[in-house]
Amino acid sequence: MEYDLKAMDLEIKAIEERTKRLKELARGFEAVEKNAEAILAFVYLLRKNVSDIVE
């Protein structure tokens, strides 16, 4: 089974970047900020599951 890890890594990085931007935009807007933080926790897991292997 072939997976394109590099492409996955690029997507993970893009999600991370956009989520950080969203969090920044929503500073003090808890309903957005906390959900963005939760997304970043899962981005961390994606990095551990994929990106660390690519590097």
Using CB under 8 A as the criterion, which residues of the chain lie in contact with other proteins when the complex forms? Answer: 1, 3, 5, 37-38, 40-42, 44-45, 48-50, 52-53
The least CB distance from residue 27 to other proteins, in Å, is 15
State the Cα–Cα distance between residues 15 and 28, nearest whole angstrom.
Answer: 21
- The identity of residue 18, as a single letter, is R
Of residues 47, 48, 24, the one with CA closest to residue 37: 24
The least CB distance from residue 13 to other proteins, in Å, is 17
The least CB distance from residue 42 to other proteins, in Å, is 6
